Chain A
C-alpha cells in the first residue's frame, strides 16, 4: 500500500529552541505509535514521517513546507516551532490546499484573520495561558496586580488577555510594565512596581509574563517583595527551567501540562514509555506533539477519504483524547480547546526541579477564548 506521508516541519538548527522541536517530534512519533497500537498503519497504509528543518527562518520554512506539499506530496504537515516562522507558513497551506497542523507555536494570531481554513492548531494559545493564569489567582476585589511583560506583540497581547479575564472580578491592575526584549536587569521595573503596589490594601501580586531568558522572577524575588507583602505569580515552564522555580515555594499559576497532573490512560502510557525509553518524564512539548499526532490518527481513521476538504470536514468539531484529556477543534477557527492546569509549587529535595502540584484542572469551558476567525463564514 501507498504510505501516508506526513511532514514534520520544525526548527531543528540555528536557535536554542531546537530542543523544543525535538520534544514535539518525539511526542509526535509516540503519538502515532500509541494511536495505531504500535502498527504504525492506518487503514492498512503505513505512515511515513518526513522531517524538515525550518532553521528558524520563515523563508526557509516556506520553501520546505512548499516542498513537502508540492514535491514530497505529503497529505498534511505539522509545525512549526516559533510563531513568526509559522505565520509565514500559513499561506503556503492555502496555496497548496493542504492541511497544516500548528504545533507547538502558540500565538493567537495563527488562528486569527491572517489564517485560513487549512490551518488547525493543537497547541494552546496565549489567551489560554493568560486566562488560566488569571483564574489561578482567584481574582476578587481584594486583588491588586502589577504586570511585567516584554514590549512586543506577544507580551502586550498576553497582558490584554489577562486583563480581559480579570474583567468583572473586581481585581485591579495598578501598573503595567513593559521591558525591552532581552532585558536582563529588572531593578528599575521592580522598583516601579513596588512603588505602585506597596501602599495598597489587600492581596498584592506581581504577574510576570516573560518568555525569553533574563530570569525576571528570580531577580525580583531577590529584592524581597515579601517585605511589602507582594507575591509573585507566573505560568509554568518546561522541566529544564523548573529547578529555578524552587525559589518560589507555594507560588500559584497555570500551565499547559505537567506529567503528574493529568490522570488518563493516554498520559499514563506516555509517562511510562517516555520514562522507559528516555530515562526522563515527558515534558510539555512532548505532550503537545503527541496530541497533534493523536488528532491526525483519529481524523485519518474516521475520514471516508483523504481529500483535503473531507479531512477538514472530519476535523472540524472533532474531539479526541490526548495526554492532557479531551481536546476539541473549534469549528470556527480550528483552535483546539483544551484544559489547563492550575498548580502550586512544591519543593521536594529529592526531585531536581520544583513540582507544580495540581490544585485543579481548569476545564476548557471555563475559559472564554476569543474566536480568531470564522472559517464557516
Chain B
C-alpha cells in the first residue's frame, strides 16, 4: 500500500530527524544549533496545529496563545524560583492547566458556531491575551519579556564529561557541555511529542477526526459526539502546543510576546503547515524545516544574489535582503495555488497516480 511518493516523504522525514539528531556534530556553528532547536520546536508546534486544521478541519488562530501559556509558565517560575527542574515541571503543568481551561472554555462556547466565526473568536481571544501579557508587566515582563536561567545542567559552562585535566571532553570537535545537553533535551522532547501525535492520528480517534472534517453531520449520525471530539482535539493540541512552549522557553532562556505569543508566529505556523501539507503530520516536519531555513538563510542568499546582480537595473532592488518577506509571500501564494496539498500531500498524491 506504500506508494513511491509516500515512501519518499517518509524517508525525507526520517532523514530530517537523523540530521537533527546529529546536528551539533554535523554543523558546528552557533547559528546552526539555534536553527536546529527551533526546527525541533516548530515541528511539534506545527504538527499539533495540523491536528486541528488538517485532521479535524478546525481553523484556530489561538495556537500561539497556548504555546505562550507553556512558555510563560516555565519562564515565570524559572524567574521567580530560580533555575532548577521543579520550576520547569511546575511551569509545564501550569501552562497545560491554563491552556486546558482556555481550550475548554473556547471549545464549549464556540465550537458549535460556524467555522469562520470560530476562527474569528480564537483570533480575538489570542489578541486579548497578547495585550494582557503586555499589560501585566509585573508578572510577564510586558513587551520586553523575561530573561532567566535554565536548569544548571544546561549552562554552557556545565561539563558533561571531563578528561583527566578536568577539561570538557570533545567529541569530533564538539564540546560535551551544557549547551549540548540543552539541545538534546529539546530534540528528544520534540521527537517524543511528535511520535505521540503520530500515534494519535493513526488511532481510531484520529480517523474520527478525519470523519468530522469530511462530514460533520454524518459523523454525528453514525454515533460520534462531534462537539466532544472537537473539544477533545482542541484541548489535546493546546496541551502539546503548551508543552512545546515550555521546552522552547527552557532552550531560549528568554520569553516575550514576540517569541511566544505574537501573531507573526501564528502566521509562521500557518505557512509551515500549508507549505508542508495539511493532514499528513509528515508535512509539518517538511514545512517547519523549509520555512525556518528560509527565515534564517534566505536573507543571506538574497544578499549574495543582489550583489551578484549589481549593474542590472531593478533586480538588485527586488533582491535586496530586506525584501525577503516579499518573496516568501509570493512563493507561498504560488504554493497554495499550484500545490494545494502542500509538498508532502502533493508528493504522496503524485505517488498514487504513478
Name A's B-contacting residues (CB within 8 A). Answer: 12-14, 18, 53, 55-60, 62-64, 66-67, 69-71, 82-85, 87-88, 90-91, 95, 107, 109, 114, 151-154, 156, 180-182
List A contacts of B144 (CB < 8 A). Answer: 83-84, 87, 107, 109, 153
List B contacts of A182 (CB < 8 A). Answer: 131
Among B254, B264, B323, B325, the residue within 8 A (CB) of A87 is B254
- Is B299 in contact with A53, judged by CB distance below 8 angstroms? yes
List B contacts of A90 (CB < 8 A). Answer: 147
Name B's A-contacting residues (CB within 8 A). Answer: 29-31, 34-35, 38, 131, 134-135, 137, 141-145, 147, 156, 252-254, 256-259, 264, 295-296, 299, 321-325
B272 to chain A, nearest CB (A): 15
Query: Are A62 and B142 also in contact (CB < 8 A) when A12-B321, A67-B30 are?
Result: no
Beyond A60-B296, A87-B254, 20 additional pairs, beta carbon < 8 A = A13-B322, A57-B258, A57-B264, A58-B252, A58-B254, A60-B295, A63-B296, A64-B31, A66-B30, A69-B30, A71-B29, A83-B144, A84-B143, A84-B256, A87-B256, A88-B252, A88-B256, A90-B147, A91-B253, A154-B143
- Is B295 in contact with A55, judged by CB distance below 8 angstroms? yes
Query: Are A63 and B34 also in contact (CB < 8 A) when A55-B295, A87-B147 are?
Result: yes
List B contacts of A151 (CB < 8 A). Answer: 135
List A contacts of B321 (CB < 8 A). Answer: 12-13, 53
- Is B295 in contact with A88, judged by CB distance below 8 angstroms? no
Among A85, A152, A153, the residue within 8 A (CB) of B258 is A85
Query: Are A91 and B143 also in contact (CB < 8 A) when A66-B31, A71-B29 are?
Result: no
The distance in angstroms between the C-alpha atoms of A114 and B322, with both chains bound, is 31
Residue of A nearest to B79 (CB): A114
List B contacts of A83 (CB < 8 A). Answer: 143-144
List B contacts of A18 (CB < 8 A). Answer: 322
The distance in angstroms between the C-alpha atoms of A270 and B156, with both chains bound, is 43
Query: Are A87 and B145 also in contact (CB < 8 A) when A56-B258, A57-B258 are?
Result: yes
A92 to chain B, nearest CB (A): 9
Chain B contact surface mostly: helix
Enumerate the 10 nearest inter-chain pairs by beta-carbon distance, A residue then B residue, closest first: A153-B142, A153-B137, A63-B34, A70-B30, A67-B31, A88-B254, A87-B144, A152-B134, A66-B30, A71-B29
The distance in angstroms between the C-alpha atoms of A91 and B264, with both chains bound, is 24
List A contacts of B256 (CB < 8 A). Answer: 58, 84, 87-88
The distance in angstroms between the C-alpha atoms of A250 and B32, with both chains bound, is 55
Task: State the total of A-B contacts with C-beta under 8 angstroms.
Answer: 106
Chain A contact surface mostly: helix
List A contacts of B141 (CB < 8 A). Answer: 87, 153
- Is B252 in contact with A62, judged by CB distance below 8 angstroms? yes
18 A-B pairs with C-beta separation under 8 A = A56-B258, A57-B258, A58-B258, A59-B258, A60-B296, A66-B30, A66-B31, A66-B34, A67-B29, A67-B34, A83-B143, A87-B141, A91-B254, A95-B156, A151-B135, A153-B142, A180-B131, A181-B131
List A contacts of B322 (CB < 8 A). Answer: 12-13, 18, 53
B175 to chain A, nearest CB (A): 12
- Is A156 in contact with B137, judged by CB distance below 8 angstroms? yes
- Is B147 in contact with A114, judged by CB distance below 8 angstroms? yes
B286 to chain A, nearest CB (A): 21
List B contacts of A67 (CB < 8 A). Answer: 29-31, 34
- Is B253 in contact with A152, judged by CB distance below 8 angstroms? no
B224 to chain A, nearest CB (A): 40
